[in-house]
Homo-oligomer: A and B are copies of this chain.
Amino acid sequence: MDMQFDLAQSARRESPAANSCPASARVSACAQCQVRSHAICADLDGAELDALNRTGRRVSLRAGQTVMWEGDDSTIVANVIEGTLKLSTSTGDGREQIVGVVYPSDFIGRPFGARTPHSVTALTDARLCLFPRGAFDGFAREHPQLEHRLLQRTLDDLDRTRAWMLLLGRKTAREKVASFLIDMTRRLDPDGEGVQIDLPLSRQQMADILGLTIETVSRQMTEMKRLGIIELAGRRGVCILDEDRLEAMAEAA
């Protein structure tokens, strides 16, 4: 965690401009963008894309780097092009809660607001399409299509977040871990059963998502392995052996 913080600070010092492309390359950046059809810019036309693009730049992040800090002025927003990042808040005495995990094509940052409500940190190496918040806000206000997609995305986020509150407030450790594994499997391996997935999170990060301690997460995983519901492979690998029983476990202890 100390290391993570150091990395984060160095990321900040390097400045986000580090990996931006030369102006000539920018124009076509969107054309070859892997997430364009899913990101909020999906239904902008060529000229609009070009205009938005002129205010933005591509940025690469190493795992552990923090893009923005809880409580900071909200100065940047971004689309995630590649990688996985966590959104987190903490109490004064350092207890952390991960309030969201974002994937390629997701949008991060706080448009139309003065403060960043939570920190954003890369869990894996990642690439972002970054915009100054002010410029983005202005552009968005002039392009209802963009605002509409942002609204849809925000409404979806809110639904997911509220569903997660049920997990945090009312589920047991067992149910929490099972729910988490199902959620992750759905995200990372749409085909389901039998296939091994690689969690983009450490045990500590799983604990920070589920509102548990690392020991409790570990014990629950071990117990599920013992029951033949999952198989563990190394630190990050998990294989769902019995999806049905796992799902039952996610709903009632």
Contacts and interface: CB of A to CB of B under 8 A. Distances in A.
A159 B87 contact: no
Contact of A91 (B117, B161, B171): B171
Most interface-central of A99, A154, A166 (chain B CB within 10 A): A166
B144 A210 contact: no
Interface in A80-117: 87, 89-93, 95-97, 99-100, 110-113, 117
B87 A168 contact: no
Nearest to A117: B159
A69 interface: no
A47 interface: no
A110 B90 CA distance: 29
Interface string A195-237: 0000000000000101100000000000000000000000000
B159 A97 contact: no
Contact of A155 (B92, B110, B148): B110
Contacts of A251: 91-93
Contacts of A57: none
A84 to B, nearest CB: 18
Contacts of A155: 110-113, 154
A159 B113 contact: yes
A155 B116 CA distance: 11
B252 A166 contact: no
A89 B171 CA distance: 12
Contacts of A91: 166, 170-171, 251-252
Nearest to A112: B152
Interface residue tally of chain A, by bracket?
35 or more
A58 interface: no
B161 A95 contact: no
A117 B156 CA distance: 10
A158 to B, nearest CB: 5
Contacts of A150: 151
B87 A162 contact: yes
Nearest to A169: B211
Interface of A: 87, 89-93, 95-97, 99-100, 110-113, 117-118, 141, 144, 147-148, 150-152, 154-159, 161-166, 168-171, 208, 210-211, 251-252
10 contacts: A87-B162, A89-B166, A91-B251, A97-B166, A99-B162, A110-B155, A141-B148, A144-B144, A147-B148, A151-B151
